[in-house]
Structure 1
Amino acid sequence: MNMHQSNPSSSTPNRRTALLSGSALSAAIITNTTTKGLHASDGESRDPKRVVKIALIGSGGRGTGAINDSLTINENVQLIALADIDRDHCERTLAAMSRRHGDKVDVKPERIHIGLDAYKQVLSDPDVDLVLIASPPGFHPLHASEAVKAGKHVFCEKPSCVDAAGYQTCLATHDEAVKNGTAIVTGTQYRRQVNYMGAVEQIREGLIGDIISATSRYCSNGIWFKNRKDGMTDTQYQIYNWMHFNWLAGDQICEQAVHNIDAMNWVMGSAPETAYGCGGRFTRPEGSEMWDSMSIDYTYPGNRTLSFTCRQIPGTQGDNGNVIYGSKGIATIDAGSGGSRITDRDGKELWSMKGSIADAYKQEHKDLVDSIRSGEPIVEFRQTAESSLTAVMGRMAAYTGQKVTWDFMSKESTLDLFPAHLDWNGELPEPAHAIPGKVKLT
């Protein structure tokens, strides 16, 4: 990432400022935009040949993967705009997608937008129907909120939020999308993976009996860390190395392990009532805010307990998947393409199903576009926001050493990690990693 470019933006509104001034900003965007949102009221919305025009906000690896999945699985779609803080990201994505998808890519030079405020240029473009949001997670609540206010359909990568303030923004955005008739599909692909769907159906039908408890693990090796380059300001460096700053990523439990938390909320039928946990750090580089392991006990309604562990430590044995223990049997739902199986309490197999995560990554984009064209847009931001806040609740339980309740996190918490003033050329404090007993619950 080249951070020595000309200043792409001197500042961008923080989330709290955005919530206060967002209506004015959105009104200006909508006033200047003739939105062709493919709404249910639009007679052309059910025309499968109508081209859905897409913009990508965040052209890094995950964003490139998301737009590739959408262009691969959908007919009559076209990428027309890109936004990122780094022009090189946009150029690489454009070159790769042009090679793979030909006429499905038509990005003119004036539709490559660079800077912290580049997303605004995408949202003010009257030709954009659908935006794919793959910016660092701390920006997701703001970007999704403004996209919906501008009348755009949305695909937003996980997690939806990294703190309580972002959660409240996501709930408001979900409700506004329902009101507007605009879709929001999120990057929780397991909900569209056939073996996950099959296992949940079997559990709902009682094949394992009553759910008693569960275990879930997202344990892997290390993850990338980027050293600061000469000349970088604090803001530039933290966004460049975004994984390691909680206002941007929320630690591993939010940024990565939220996949398994979302799956378990789905299985249990709700968010948990409490979280109590611990963890620590042994191998993270100096300057990283992340822990490298957390173990959380979540208690769900009905006194059902989930023992959840996530870890990123080089040289350790990986384990990624979910096991649900019932009064009659046991359901195992492996991550990736590992498949699902159900046995009775004696180990006799009762049911199994294979699944492909690659297919699920694509299916979420097909479901999104199909729902837009049908005039019945999917809106699922609330469920992913609840899973994301469940991850935040676990993180705060570990960081503080306190039992944390869902009622507190969803109704009382004032936790807002987004910087009060975000200036591309400005200073930001380098946060210290959490120490239980010293970090307070807010």
Structure 2
Amino acid sequence: MTDKHSSDSSASPQTQNRRRFIKQSGAASAAVASAMATTRMIRGDEPQAATAPKIRIGLVGAGGRGAGAVTDSLAINDNVQLVAIADLEAATGESLRRRLKRNQDFGDKIAVEDTSLHSGLDGYKRVLDDPNVDLVLFATPPGFRPSYVLEAVEAGKHVFAEKPTCVDPVGHKACIEADEKARANKTAIVTGTQYRRQTNYVEAIRRIHEGAIGEIISGTARYCSNGIWYKQRKEGMSDMEYQLYNWMHFIWLSGDQITEQAVHNIDTINWIMGGPPETAYGGGGRFTRPEDSEMWDNVAVDYVYPGNRVISFMCRQIPSTQGDNSNVIYGSEGIATIKGGNSGASIVDRNGKTIWEMPGDIGAAYKQEHKDLVDSILAEKPIVELRDTADSSLTAVLGRMAAYTGQKVSWDFLTNESKLDLFPKDLNIKGPGAPVGFAVPGQQKLV
């Protein structure tokens, strides 16, 4: 039996028509460009360029990260147009549309009609049902991401998914399914792991893989900062409304700081090491969190990678503490340091002499991921990178589960045995919300 989602035939007729238009327009544009490059013409006789296809974007999640993602895509791509916005709150989507329209650089790139502004928990479905939407950007709280991305792939849409892409093992399985279906359907999935497109990261890791520091022995990864936002509950909010409003502080939505924020460093380490670790053993705790927050404020994990190579990982969000956002890899012949943001990367030999360095530009990386995505769609060579980001997200979950339970946890257990599913079975906006309580090692069970 043929899987109904295994080819383009799974997409709606409207979606298939849009794909044919993009394909045909792209081919026509390429043919004109080729003719102009190889034929000498008399001025005035040049052929009219074929209408360049526009990739029509729908945004799901119009908060700060969603606004940043769609702004980056509109800024770096000439051939895109925002046609739909969905957010839990109608006012959030409307506010973003107004701000984008005020940007004179965007012009007709903003084409969101009133009928294409959607709200509520099911607003994303209206975007997926819209035949005019080619590409969906997902910037909702992470707990929603696995099911939303899978549904988008099944609807025949291209996808940009913010990190992390899952917060538990069940979500990881949904991501792997989505990755496989996207490859079969020839739809793209690019994720918000922008460091994979930051030039100093790419060059440093290329050099590590080519032996610039010799054999990798061990390393450290740190994402330590002073704090994170917290939203006070508004009068009249149900428990579920409050959890969605203050989502960072509830594990089913954020996965805790190790998953939501520090996944960038974990993804970098997996990239360097060639895949996920074999085991994790760690600890941590909470000293400064608000009473109703489920988050820990520090987590420290020893990840053991194949070859018995240990990466010492730490993340922390505690006011008045020293920050550190870096990845340091110790090799038999040198040391590579890759710092977050714009801080750059360097390699020194065993005597401490700098043999290579490069500055960072995170702003360019944020935009580049959106350019690579759109270019891959137009070239009919869709990038599908969900599996790597899902594995990095699950590596963060592995560390969280080891710290929360006080147990040594293996990658094999998470991928083959764990049944942990944090998503509420009855998602009612006016309902009681998910059960609340922070983890205590020795009491928290390994599921």
Is TM (by shorter chain) over 0.5? yes
Query: In 2, distance between residues paired with 1:378 and 1:133?
Result: 16
Q: Compute the displacement of 1:102 (Å).
A: 1.8
Instruction: Give the equivalent residue in structure 1 for 2:259.
Output: 254
Q: Compute the displacement of 1:93 (Å).
A: 1.1
Instruction: Give the equivalent residue in structure 2 for 1:359.
Output: 364
Q: 2:70 aligns with which of 56, 67, 72?
A: 67
Q: Compute the displacement of 1:39 (Å).
A: 7.2
Structure with more relative contact order (C-alpha pairs < 8 Å, separation 6 or more)? 1
Deviations 1:189-245 (A, max 9, x none): 000000000001100110100000000100001111111111111111100000000
Q: Compute the displacement of 1:125 (Å).
A: 0.5
Query: In 1, distance between residues paired with 2:74 and 2:344?
Result: 26
Report the secondary structure of 2:346's partner residue: strand
Q: Compute the displacement of 1:68 (Å).
A: 0.2
1:40–1:300 Cα change, 3 Å:
farther
Query: Is 1:300 matched up with 2:281?
Result: no
**Which amino acid in structure 1 is aligned with residue 23 of structure 2?**
D
TM-score, normalised via structure 2 length = 0.91
Instruction: Give the equivalent residue in structure 2 for 1:201.
Output: 206
Unaligned runs of 5+ in 2: 31-51
Deviations 1:1-54 (A, max 9, x none): xxxxxxxxxxxxxxxxxxxxxx89xx9x94474345647993334548211100
* Cα contact 2:54–2:79 (8 A) shared by 1: yes
1:286–1:72 Cα change, 3 Å:
same
Q: 1:368 aligns with which of 366, 373, 382?
A: 373
RMSD: 1.8
Q: 2:332 aligns with which of 310, 327, 335?
A: 327
What percent of counterpart residues are identical? 59
* Cα contact 2:135–2:159 (8 A) shared by 1: yes
Instruction: Give the equivalent residue in structure 1 for 2:190.
Output: 185
Instruction: Give the equivalent residue in structure 1 for 2:242.
Output: 237
Report the secondary structure of 1:422's partner residue: coil
Report the secondary structure of 2:251's partner residue: coil
Report the secondary structure of 2:232's partner residue: coil
Query: Is 1:43 matched up with 2:48?
Result: no
Q: Compute the displacement of 1:270 (Å).
A: 0.9
Deviations 1:308-356 (A, max 9, x none): 0000001111011100000000000000011110000110011111120
* Cα contact 1:71–1:78 (8 A) shared by 2: yes
Query: In 2, distance between residues paired with 1:404 and 1:109?
Result: 49
* Cα contact 1:262–1:387 (8 A) shared by 2: yes
Query: In 2, distance between residues paired with 1:90 and 1:35?
Result: 28
Query: Is 1:88 matched up with 2:91?
Result: yes
Query: In 2, distance between residues paired with 1:245 and 1:303?
Result: 34
Report the secondary structure of 1:228's partner residue: coil
Query: In 1, distance between residues paired with 2:321 and 2:359?
Result: 27
Query: In 2, distance between residues paired with 1:230 and 1:425?
Result: 13
Q: 2:346 aligns with which of 341, 366, 377?
A: 341
Q: 1:379 aligns with which of 379, 384, 394?
A: 384
Query: In 1, distance between residues paired with 2:110 and 2:433?
Result: 38
* Cα contact 1:39–1:375 (8 A) shared by 2: no
Query: In 1, distance between residues paired with 2:213 and 2:149?
Result: 38
Instruction: Give the equivalent residue in structure 2 for 1:316.
Output: 321
* Cα contact 2:15–2:134 (8 A) shared by 1: no
**Which amino acid in structure 1 is aligned with residue 83 of structure 2?**
I
Instruction: Give the equivalent residue in structure 1 for 2:15.
Output: 34
Query: In 2, distance between residues paired with 1:245 and 1:36?
Result: 41
Query: In 1, distance between residues paired with 2:283 and 2:389?
Result: 24
| Structure of larger gyration radius | 2
Query: In 2, distance between residues paired with 1:290 and 1:205?
Result: 39
Instruction: Give the equivalent residue in structure 1 for 2:82.
Output: 79
**Which amino acid in structure 2 is aligned with residue 213 of structure 1?**
S
1:240–1:109 Cα change, 3 Å:
same
Query: In 2, distance between residues paired with 1:38 and 1:316?
Result: 52
1:230–1:430 Cα change, 3 Å:
farther
Report the secondary structure of 1:42's partner residue: helix
